[in-house]
Amino acid sequence: MADPKPVTTLKLRKMKEEGTPIVMVTAYDYPSAALADEAGVDMILVGDSLGNVVLGYDSTIPVTLDDMIYHSRAVNRAVKRPFVVTDLPFMTYHGSVDRALGHVARIMQEGGSKGVKLEGGREIAATVQAIVQAGVPVIGHVGLTPQSVHALGGYRVQGKSDAQILKLKEDVQALEQAGATAIVLELVTAEIAAEISRGLSIPTIGIGSGNGCDGQVLVFHDVLQYEAAPAAKRFVKAYANIGRDIREALTAYADEVRSRQFPAPEHAFHAVKPQEQNRTETVPAKDDSAAQSEEPGVLYGAGRPSSN
């Protein structure tokens, strides 16, 4: 059973020290965040993956800062316990540090999140340090970085070659020294991810990087198999098949509407209560006590609030 107290940066560090795995999941709207909160997750990422699973893009690159703020507001209205972090989208934290800080300020003030996540290592360490010094927790992200998918040549596992391993180690060290709260390791070979995790004082959150990380994150829609025809992902385990259930429910609804099975009498309002329809007596022209629905303020057959 998860500790009901709100998760803080100190709590995340303590979880690493005690060997307690950190549970993180993405969420993009009020109902998904509320359900994740009720399930007891420790962290929620308002990820720019919303571009793929919510907005219909083929990558995260088209996602804007305004998109992230909009979805962050919805998530934070639902959350009580988890530590909520929002992705800074493509090209919003490169170039001027002041410009990046302005974007971070909007995420925090308008979106309501407790921290931000940035992709990259040594090349963004100075920006990470400036954000941390401004009082904002930063989650790093190395390995496969989706915003750089074109530069990487596709969605490829990282940490296979000596050069990749060296870069990963240098990147996480730079982020730790810059003051990052935690680091996401995406599609890093399990052995290297475990080695990196042991060598850091801050938590690592794995996705497709094996069981040696200090925590795990998956996309909400992957966990629930929300898509009608989800792409096969070796590192994902689906715990439900919501996509199938939704499709079957909507198909049944469409069939019943077309066959006039829905709405049935019990789903409609009537001038005469259904159980009285076979009676021969005349319904009084006006009788407030009899005309009122069992639902307060609604007349049978009116389908709108009573003016009384």
* Active site (catalytic) residues: 186
Which residue(s) pair with 143 in the sheet?
186
Q: What distance in Å separates the CA atoms of residue 99 and residue 115, rounded to the nearest whole number?
A: 17
Q: In Å, what is the CA distance from 177 to each residue of 140, 172, 263? A: 12, 9, 63
- CA-based R_g, the chain, Å: 26
Sequence-distant (6+) residues with CB within 8 A of 109 are none
First to last CA, the chain: 50
In the numeric block, the tokens 């829609």 are attached to: 221
Identity of residue 142: V
Greatest alpha-carbon pair distance for the chain in Å reads 90
| Beta carbons of 40 and 1 less than 8 angstroms apart | yes
